[in-house]
Amino acid sequence: MDTDRERHRARETAFYLFTQQSLPACKPVLTPGWVIAIFLFMGVIFIPVGLISLRASHCVVEIVDRYDIDCVPEPSRMDKVSYIQDDSIPKNCSHFMKPVPPITWKVSCISPYAEPYTFSSAVITRHYTAVKTATEYVKSRSDKQLLDGQKYHDTSSCQPVESNNNRPIVPCGLIAWSLFNDTFEFIREGAELKVNRKNIAWKSDRGHKFGKNVYPFNFQNGTLIGGGKLNPEIPLSDQEDLIVWMRTSALPSFRKLYGRIEEDLDVDDVVVVNLMNNYNTYSFGGKKKLVLSTSSWLGGKNDFLGHACVFVGCSSLTLAIIFMLLHVKYRRPYGDMSYLPWNRKSFSG
Amino acid sequence: MKRYVYINDNESSHELYCDNRISNRKYTVLNFLPKNLWEQFSRFMNQYFLLIACLQLWSLITPVNPASTWGPLIFIFAVSASKEAWDDYNRYLSDKKANEKLVWVVRQGIRKHIQAQDIHVGNIVWLRENDEVPCDLVLIGTSDPQGLCYVETAALDGETDLKTRVIPSACMGIDFELLHKIKGVIECPNPDKDITRFDANLRLFPPFIDNDVCPLTIKNTILQSCYLRNTEWACGVAVYTGNETKLGMSRGIPEPKLTAMDAMIDKLTGAIFVFQIVVVMVLGIAGNVWKDTEARKQWYVQYPIEGPWYELLVIPLRFELLCSIMIPISIKVSLDLVKSLYAKFIDWDAEMIDYETGIPSHATNTAISEDLGQVEYIMTDKTGTLTENRMIFRRCCISGVFYGNESGDALKDTKLLNAVAGSSPDVVQFLTVMAICNTVVPIKSKTGAISYKAQSQDEDALVNAAAQLHMVYANKNANILEIRFNGSVIKYEVLEILEFTSDRKRMSVVVKDCQNGKIVLLSKGADEAILPFAYVGQQTRTFIEAVEQYAQLGLRTLCLACRELREDEYQEWSLLFKEASSTLVDREWRIAEVCQRLEHDFEVLGVTAIEDRLQDGVPETIETLRKAGINFWMLTGDKQNTAIQIALSCNFISPEPKGQLLLIDGKTEDEVCRSLERVLLTMRITSSEPKDVAFVVDGWALEIALKHYRKAFTELAILSRTAICCRVTPSQKAQLVELLKSCDYRTLAIGDGGNDVRMIQQADIGVGISGREGLQAARAADYSIGKFRFLKRLILVHGRYSYNRTAFLSQYSFYKSLVICFIQIFFSFISGVSGTSLFNSVSLMAYNVFYTSIPVLVSVLDKDLSEGTVMQHPQILFYCQAGRFTVSPPFLAFFLLYNRASESEYICWMVWSIFVPCNCCVCDHHTCLCLREK
C-alpha cells in the first residue's frame, strides 16, 4: 500500500511530469472568435494612443534655422572651406529667429497653449555623412581614460589622437578632438536671453562615465586643431558640451542639446542669435541648423509614433472587420474532421 | 599473414605482439588538447568561426569586441571537449580496472598472480569458475575429464545461453600438473573481428608429442570478456591480447549517421556562406570607393593620405566580420542540447517500458531523433520482431500421419500419446531426432529438474516437446548422451556435429548407439534442404503437403530425417571431415562440401510445426503506421508461405478482394526477368486504384533481380507500398535497405537478431528489439525497444515532436541571425559603407545568447498537437515526411533572405524614422534614447 502511494506521489512530481512531457500547459486555440476579438482590441487600444501622441507632437512648436551658408560673408561663399579655416577672419554672425507658430498649431492646440510658451534651444548640426561614418572615428575614444584620466595608460584605441609631444592627451581620440565649437548668444528685445547650459547631458554620464577629478590635459595642442577647446580648470564631469558630444549618433543627421531657455517667449518675440561660426562642415558638405523648440510630455516634435500607432490600429480594425465578414460568410463548426486534408482528399477522389 | 604463438615461451613474443593492456581511450593527457582541437576543427563550421575569431583580434578591422565571437567559440569548444574528456576518463577508469585485475598466469613454470595487463601472447592463463576471460585463449585444459567447459558470451554477442567449449584433441588427457610445462606452437591467423571463426592449428612439442597437426576452431577458444560458468577451472594459451582480441578488433567506431535535417542545415550554411561572400565583396568595393571619394573630405576622421598596403582589404574584412553573424554560432550547441533531451525523453517514456521484462526503451544514438519523424519505409524482420519468438511445438506429421490437427496441439493429441506409449518405431525414431539432433545442453538443478540451454529457440521447443512426450534428454557427459524413454535409459555417443549454417539450412549429428554400435546420421532442416535428398523411392508427397499445410497456418516447419551409416563409410568420411575442419582457407565452404557427401539418401521421418505467436499490438501498430503513409517491407529468412501467412495476420497485406499479391519467382535469369516485368506491369496499372498491391520475392529471385535487373526492381520498389522478401540472407537485407536509400527514401530497419545487424546499421535509423535472440541487434541499433508496438509511439510521438522542434529551432536560429545581420548591412548604407556595427558587442552577444538562444530552447517542450490527436490521425505525419520545413536549399535560402531582408529593412527604417526627426533626442551609438527636458 505504502509503496503504491509513494509511486503515485512520485508520478505527480514535476520532474516525472517533465520526463513524460506532460507538464501542465496552456494550449490556446486561435479560433476565429479569438482572432477577431484580439484584432478589435488592438484597434481600440492603438488608435487612441496614436491620436494622443500625434496631438502632443503637433502641439510642439519648432523653428529650424539653417545658418551655415548665411554666416559666410558674401565674398567668401565661393570658397567656404578656406574661409572657415582662416583663423584671422572673425566668425561672428547674427541671425534672427521669429517664433511664428505653424498653422496647424492653432487648429490642434487651442486652449492650453495659447499662453506664451517656453522654448528650449538646441543646436543641430547636420553632417552629410555623419560623424558616425567610419569605424576609425567611432572607435577613436577611450572610455576608461574619460573616467580615470591620465592614470589610465592604454589608450591605443585613441589613434591617431593619442598623444602629443610624448604626453598623453586627455580626452584622447578623434571624437573629442572634433568637438563642436560654434557658440550662440540669444538676445530678445535688446536684453540677453538666459540660456541654462546645465543638466544637458545624461545624469548617468556625468556621474559614472566622466571622471570628477579628470581635467583636460594637453588637449588641442597639436599642429592640427580639430574642433573646440576645453577649459583645463573644469573636470570632465562638468564639461557637459563634451559629454553630449561624446555620445555619437547612429545616423548621419543628428541633434545635440545646447541648452534650455527658461523664460517664456511670446508669439511676436524676435530672438537675435549672435553666433560664432567656427565649425567646419563645408569641406564635406554638412549642414548646420539651429532649432528652437518647445517640448511636450512626449519630448520633441515627432509624428512617427503617432502615425505608427494609428496605422497599426487601423489595419487591425480592418483585419478584424475582414475576418468577421469571412467568418460570417464561411462559418464552419469548430473541430470538424471532414475538413482535414486527408479526409477532404478522399471526398474529391 | 599468420601468427605463430609459442606456448609458454616467455621472451620471444614480447616484442612481436602487444601485451594485454586494453585501451579504449581516444586520448592521452598529452595529446588530448591537440587531438581534440584537431577533431573539432575538422568541421567546416568550426574552421569558419575560428577564422572569424582570429580576424577579430586585428583591432583595425574589428567592428565589435573580439570577445563576442571568442566567448561563444571557447564555450562551444569547452563544452564538447569536456564531454569528450569525461567520456575518455570513464573509459580510462574502466580500462584500468580491467587491466589491473589479478589473474593466475604461469611464469617460469610456476603459477603466479599477476595483473591482467602483463599477460603476453603465449602465456598460459588459469581461470576459475565465474572469472572473466582477460584475453583470447585457446583452451588446453579444464576441470572436466572430457575437456569441456561452459562460457557465457553475453558481453560478446548478447546471447545469454551457455556455450560449450572443448579443449583440442591433442591436449586431451594431459595431466593437471604437466599443463604448466606444456610447449608447442599455435599457428593462427592475424587478429580479426570475426567472433564465429578461428581457423588455426596446434602442434605440441616433446614430450607432449602428437604428430598430428590438431585443428582448432572457435569451439576451442574462450574469448575476452566471456565468463567461465559451470566449470571449476580452465586454462588456456593467450593468442590474442590487448586491443588485438576479437572483441578489441570489433570495437570499431561506427560511422556517425547524419539526419536529413543536419544535411539541410549544412547546405543552408553553405548557401548563406556564399551569399555572405557576395555581400562582403559588393559592400567592400562600395566601401573602398566611398572612402576614396567622399570620406577623405571628412577632416575629422583624419584618414591618412597614403595607407598601408592592406588598406584595400580593411573594409571587406570588416564586412566579413560584421556578416559572420549570419551563420548562427549557437545552432550547433542548441541542437546538440535539445537532441540529447529528445533522446532522454525516449529513455524516460513510461509508456515505452516493456513491463514483462522491465526493459525501458533506449536511444543509443542521440543525434537522429528527428529523422524518426521522416521515416518513409520500414524494413522489418519477422521472427522475434513481429512475432514473440517464443516457440511452441504445435503439430507434427510422422510417416504420413498428421498429429495435432484437431486440437491444434500435438502434445495433447491422444493418437500421438498412444503411439508413444506403444513405442511405435517410427514415432520413437522421430522423437529421438527431436531430442538429440541439436546442440542443446541439459542442466540438472539440485532438485533433479532438467532445464535446457539452447542456442536456437526452435531446438529448445523441440527438446522440450520431446521431453513432454517422455523422450527426455537427460544428460550430456562429454560425447555421451543419455536419453530416458519410458523408463529405459538409452546412451548415444556423439561422433560428429555438422553445424547449422544459413547456406546449408540444415544441421546433422552423427551418433553411435552405445547398445548395438550402429552409426546413425540424424538431420533436421528446412524442407528444401531435406526433402530433395530423400532416398530414391520414398514418397515425400505427404511431407510436402504437410509443410504446405503448416506454412499456411503460419507455423514454422522443420523436416526430420535420418540415415544409417556403414562403419567404413563413416570412417572414410570422418577423415575428409577432419581435413576440411583443419583447413585455414575457406574452411566453411570446404566443410559444407564434405557434409554434402554424407547428407543424402535420407529416410525422411516427418515434419514438425512450431508456432511463433504474434506480439501484442502488432496489427494495430502496422495499420496505424501505414495510415501515416509509411511503407512496410518484411524481410525474413523464413519460408514464403509462413511469411505471407504472418503478413496477412498482422495487417501487412489485405486478403484477396481488397489486396493483391504478386509473385516474383523463377530460378533462372529469364524467368525472373519475365515475372518481374509482369509484376511491374500490373503494378503500374493498379497504382491508381485504391487497392493494396504487394509483391513477394524470395531470396533466389531477389539475388538475380538485384544483380541483373536492378533498374526494374528499383522502379518496382518505388511503386510498391508493401513487399515481402522471404528466404533472404543478412547481406540481402542490407542490400535492400541500400537500394531504398539510394532512391532517397528515409528508411528504418527493425529487427532483433544477429542476422538483422547489417540491415540495422545500413538503414538511416536502426531499431533493435531487445528480445530473445540476444542483444546483438539492440546493441548495433540507434534505438532499442522492448516490443514492436512501441514503434508507433517512437515514430508518431517522439519522431514527430523532435522533427517539429528541431525544424523550428534551426529555422529560428537562421532567422534571428539574418535579421540582425541585415540591420547591420542596411545600416552600412547610412554610415558611409565603412563596416561599422550599429550594435555594441555586449548587445550583440546578449542578443545571440540571452535574448534569442536560451529562451527558444524552451521550444523543446513544445507540443503542437497532443499525443492522442497524433495517434488518432497518423496522417499528420505526412507533413513531416514531406519535409515541411525543408524545401530545396537554394529556394529556402532565397526565401529566408527575401523575407528577412524586408523585415530588417522595416526595422531599420523604423529606427531611422523614430530618431531622425526626434526632437531633443540624443541618439546614441549604442542605444537610442530620448532625452527629455524637465
Range of the domain at A213: 125-252+268-281
Q: Is the same domain home to A273 and A325?
A: no
Given this model, what pLDDT does residue B380 score?
92
Q: pTM of the prediction? A: 0.74
Q: Quick count: other Cβ atoms within 10 Å of Cβ B359?
A: 19
Q: Is the same domain home to A310 and A165?
A: no
The answer to whether position A295 is within a domain reads: no
Write out the H or E segment, with its range, that includes residue B724: strand B722-726
pLDDT in tens, B50-84: 888 888 888 777 767 777 778 778 887 888 788 77
Residue A272 · residue A251 · CB < 8 Å: no
> Domain segments of chain B: what residues?
2-12+119-251, 330-349+797-915, 353-387+617-786, 391-613
The answer to whether position A68 is within a domain reads: no
Given this model, what pLDDT does residue B694 score?
86
DSSP 8-state code for residue A89? S
Are B345 and A227 in contact (CB < 8 Å)?
Answer: no
pLDDT band per the 50, 70, 90 thresholds, residue B916: very low
Instruction: Spell out the SS3 assignment of B183-202.
Output: CEEEEEECCCCCCCCCCEEE
Provide the grid cell at B471: 523422450
Q: Is the same domain home to A277 and A313?
A: no
DSSP string of B127-179?
EETTPBP-SEEEEEEESSTT-EEEEE-HHHH---SEEEEE--GGGTT--TTGG
Beta strands in A128-172 (DSSP E): 163-164, 167-168
* Secondary structure of residue A324 in the 3-state scheme: helix
Name the residue among A219, A222, A246, A231 with its Cα closest to residue A142.
Answer: A246
pLDDT of A254 above 80: no
Q: Is the same domain home to A169 and A313?
A: no
Question: What's the whole-number mean pLDDT along residues B897-917?
Answer: 43
Mark B676-687 as b/e (b = at least 16 C-beta within 10 Å).
beebbeebeeee
Q: Is B381 a catalytic residue?
A: yes
A131 vs B contacts (CB less than 8 Å): 300
Given this model, what pLDDT does residue A126 score?
42
Out of A259-268, B77-86, B497-506, B695-704, give the one with best mean pLDDT: B695-704
Given this model, what pLDDT does residue A7 score?
64
Task: Give the CA-trace dihedral at B617, B623, B624, B628, to 10 degrees.
Answer: 150
Question: What's the whole-number mean pLDDT along residues B364-373?
Answer: 85
Q: Which residue out of B19, B144, B210, B381 is catalytically annotated? A: B381
A250 vs B contacts (CB less than 8 Å): 827, 838, 911, 915, 923-925, 928
Question: What's the whole-number mean pLDDT along residues B183-197?
Answer: 82
Q: Is the same domain home to A327 and A231?
A: no
Query: B549 or B14: which carries more pLDDT confidence?
Result: B549
The C-alpha of B884 sits at a distance from chain A's nearest C-alpha, in angstroms, of 15
The answer to whether position A346 is within a domain reads: no
Backbone angles phi, psi at B532, to 5 degrees: -65, -15
pLDDT in tens, A301-320: 788 889 999 999 999 999 99
Q: Which CATH superfamily is domain B391-613 in?
A: Calcium-transporting ATPase, cytoplasmic domain N (3.40.1110.10)
DSSP 8-state code for residue A213? T
Given this model, what pLDDT does residue A49 score?
94
| Least confident piece of the model among B42-51, B282-291, B372-381, B479-488 | B42-51
Q: Which of B361, B831, B842, B907 to mutate to test the interface with A (most CBs of A within 10 A)?
A: B831
- In percent, how much of chain B has pLDDT > 70? 89
The answer to whether position A113 is within a domain reads: no
* CATH number for the segment(s) B2-12+119-251: 2.70.150.10
The answer to whether position A299 is within a domain reads: no
The answer to whether position A9 is within a domain reads: no
Residue B222 · residue B34 · CB < 8 Å: no
Beta strands in B399-479 (DSSP E): 401-403, 441-444, 450-453, 471-477
Are A138 and B836 in contact (CB < 8 Å)?
Answer: yes
pLDDT of B190 above 90: no
A336, exposed or middle or buried, with CB in 10 Å at 0-12, 13-18, 19+? Answer: exposed
Out of A67-81, B48-62, B734-748, give the one with best mean pLDDT: B734-748
- In percent, how much of chain A has pLDDT > 70? 82
Q: Is the same domain home to A277 and A318?
A: no
Q: Quick count: other Cβ atoms within 10 Å of Cβ B42?
A: 9
pLDDT in tens, B392-430: 888 888 888 888 887 778 888 888 888 888 888 888 889
Given this chain, do its domains B2-12+119-251 and B391-613 carry the same CATH topology? Answer: no
CB pairs under 8 A between A and B: 167
* Binding-site annotation: residue ranges of B: 381-383, 459, 500, 524, 556, 636-638, 727, 733, 752, 755-756
B283 vs A contacts (CB less than 8 Å): none
The answer to whether position A205 is within a domain reads: yes
Are B920 and A255 in contact (CB < 8 Å)?
Answer: yes
pLDDT of A346 above 60: no
Given this model, what pLDDT does residue B906 score?
46
pLDDT in tens, A24-62: 877 777 778 888 999 999 999 999 999 999 988 887 777
Given this model, what pLDDT does residue B30 score?
86
Q: Is the same domain home to A275 and A148?
A: yes
A102 vs B contacts (CB less than 8 Å): none
DSSP string of A32-86?
HHHHHHHHHHHHHHHHHHHHHHHHHHHT--EEEEE-TTTTS-GGGGGGHHHHHH-
Question: What's the whole-number mean pLDDT along residues B43-49?
Answer: 79
Residue that is written with C-alpha cell 598466469 in the block: B105
Number of domains in chain A: 2
The C-alpha of A88 sits at a distance from chain B's nearest C-alpha, in angstroms, of 20
Given this model, what pLDDT does residue B251 score?
62
Given this model, what pLDDT does residue B771 score?
67
Residue B124 · residue B8 · CB < 8 Å: yes
Computed over every residue of chain B, the mean pLDDT equals 80
Q: Is the same domain home to A145 and A242?
A: yes
Given this model, what pLDDT does residue A11 score?
63
Amino acid in position A208: H
pLDDT of B915 above 50: no
pLDDT in tens, B130-169: 888 888 889 888 887 777 788 877 666 655 567 778 888 7
CA-nearest residue to B930 within chain A is A299
Name the residue among B597, B608, B602, B605 with its Cα closest to residue B496.
Answer: B597
* Secondary structure of residue B5 in the 3-state scheme: strand
Query: B44 or B227: which carries more pLDDT confidence?
Result: B227
* CATH number for the segment(s) B353-387+617-786: 3.40.50.1000
pLDDT of A345 above 60: no
Query: B924 or B575: which carries more pLDDT confidence?
Result: B575
Are B925 and A250 in contact (CB < 8 Å)?
Answer: yes
pLDDT of B545 above 70: yes
pLDDT of B909 above 50: no
Name the residue among A297, A256, A292 with its Cα closest to residue A100.
Answer: A292
Residue A64 · residue A95 · CB < 8 Å: no
Name the residue among B556, B514, B564, B569 with its Cα closest to residue B535.
Answer: B564
Are A134 and B298 in contact (CB < 8 Å)?
Answer: yes
Residue that is written with C-alpha cell 566601401 in the block: B287
d(CA A69, CA A77): 8
Given this model, what pLDDT does residue A2 score?
53
> Which residues, in sequence order, are CB contacts of B596 under 8 Å at separation 6+?
none
Given this model, what pLDDT does residue B794 score?
93
Given this model, what pLDDT does residue B914 score?
39
Q: Is the same domain home to A131 and A236?
A: yes
Are B300 and A137 in contact (CB < 8 Å)?
Answer: yes
CA-nearest residue to B319 within chain A is A135
Question: What's the whole-number mean pLDDT along residues B765-775?
Answer: 78
Residue B855 · residue A156 · CB < 8 Å: no
pLDDT in tens, A147-172: 888 888 787 778 777 777 788 888 88
Given this model, what pLDDT does residue B884 score?
47
Name the residue among B204, B568, B544, B193 with its Cα closest to residue B400.
Answer: B544
Q: Is the same domain home to A321 and A205?
A: no
Computed over every residue of chain A, the mean pLDDT equals 77
Q: Is the same domain home to A313 and A165?
A: no
pLDDT in tens, A88-129: 777 788 877 665 544 333 333 333 333 334 444 444 444 444
Provide the grid cell at B358: 522491465
Sign, CA torsion B415/B418/B424/B430: positive
Q: Is the same domain home to A140 and A245?
A: yes
DSSP 8-state code for residue A227? S
pLDDT in tens, B468-484: 888 888 887 777 888 88
pLDDT band per the 50, 70, 90 thresholds, residue B255: low
pLDDT band per the 50, 70, 90 thresholds, residue A333: confident
Amino acid in position B875: Q
Provide the grid cell at A197: 547650459
pLDDT in tens, B645-662: 888 888 888 777 777 888
Given this model, what pLDDT does residue B134 score?
87
Residue A317 · residue A122 · CB < 8 Å: no
CA within 13 Å, CB half, B92: 10
The C-alpha of B56 sits at a distance from chain A's nearest C-alpha, in angstroms, of 14
The C-alpha of A248 sits at a distance from chain B's nearest C-alpha, in angstroms, of 5
pLDDT of B883 above 60: no
